[in-house]
Amino acid sequence: LTSWNAGEDFASLGIGHFIWYPEGKRGPFEESFPKLIRFMSDHRVDVPSWLQNARTCPWQSQSDFQRAQNSPELKALRDFLVHTVDLQAQFLVDRLQNALPKMIEETAPFNRVHVQEQFERMSSSAQGCYTLVDYVNFKGEGVLHTERYRGEGWGLLQVLEDMRGTSNGASAVEEFARSASTILTHRVKNSPPERNESRWLPGWVNRVNSYTRG
């Protein structure tokens, strides 16, 4: 439940791999861990005191993070995350519910009905709902202009825009997985070479393909 991937400038925490940036570092990806902590506090969860007072991630790099694996702070953080899985899941569901209005506003006016129809098509089944919840947390809503390479995004909005089918259920999820795989492949092709994002693509594709095995 606590990790820091090679080549990244942030920690990935909890069941949703929530992003937390160290002081002085901000990347193109939306920081979600502080929002999770506020959500926990709003639900009167006992958040560890050091975490309540931490404005930014206290570890500056992956190496710092690895050296701190047995520190009291990381042990407390892991324990906290283990005991709040249900609320983390609720946070993810809430994020999905808030995503549709953002996506409708961001997409081109002629595309708004299409995006809503594809969203509703996916949300008509339990597996489709799970897929939407996972992907919006995995790669975001697709509405932030900072989350673009060469002007192209890779979030939920871009996947829904790319879909063309009308059938619900398993066929919708299968099309979503194909579309997401295509979008993520384009992301890697458009990414700065120094990020070497191709190393992550097989894992990303495996994740979206897993949606069809539900």
Q: What is the pLDDT of residues 63-86, one digit of tens each?
A: 999 999 999 999 999 999 999 998
Each residue's pLDDT expressed in tens, for the chain with a length of 214 residues: 899 988 888 999 998 889 999 998 887 788 999 999 999 999 999 998 888 888 899 999 999 999 999 999 999 999 999 999 989 988 988 888 889 999 999 999 999 999 999 999 999 998 999 999 889 988 999 999 999 999 999 999 999 999 999 999 999 999 999 999 999 999 999 999 999 999 999 999 999 999 998 6
- pLDDT score of 38: 92
Last residue of a domain, one of 18, 48, 83: 83
Counting the structural domains of the chain, the total is 2
Domain end (from 51, 83, 115): 83
Concatenated DSSP letters of 112-158: HHHHHHHHHHHHTSHHHHHHHHHHHHHH--S--TTS-BTTB--SHHH
| 143 and 124 part of one domain | yes
Whole-angstrom distance, CA of residue 159 vs CA of residue 179: 6
Do both 77 and 171 map to the same domain? no
Cα separation of 19 and 81, whole Å? 14
Looking at residue 156, its pLDDT comes to 97
Question: What's the pLDDT at 214?
Answer: 65
Q: What is the largest CA-CA distance in the chain?
A: 53
Shared-domain flag, residues 54 and 124: no
Q: Of all helices (H) and strands (E), which one includes residue 18?
A: strand 18-20
Among residues 52, 83, 114, which one ends one of the domains? 83
Provide the domain limits for residue 70. 2-83
Shared domain check, 190 and 108: yes
Do residues 96 and 198 share a domain? Answer: yes
pTM value is 0.75
Residues 101 and 203 in one domain: yes
Count of Cβ atoms closer than 10 Å to residue 64 Cβ:
14
104 plus 208 within the same structural domain = yes
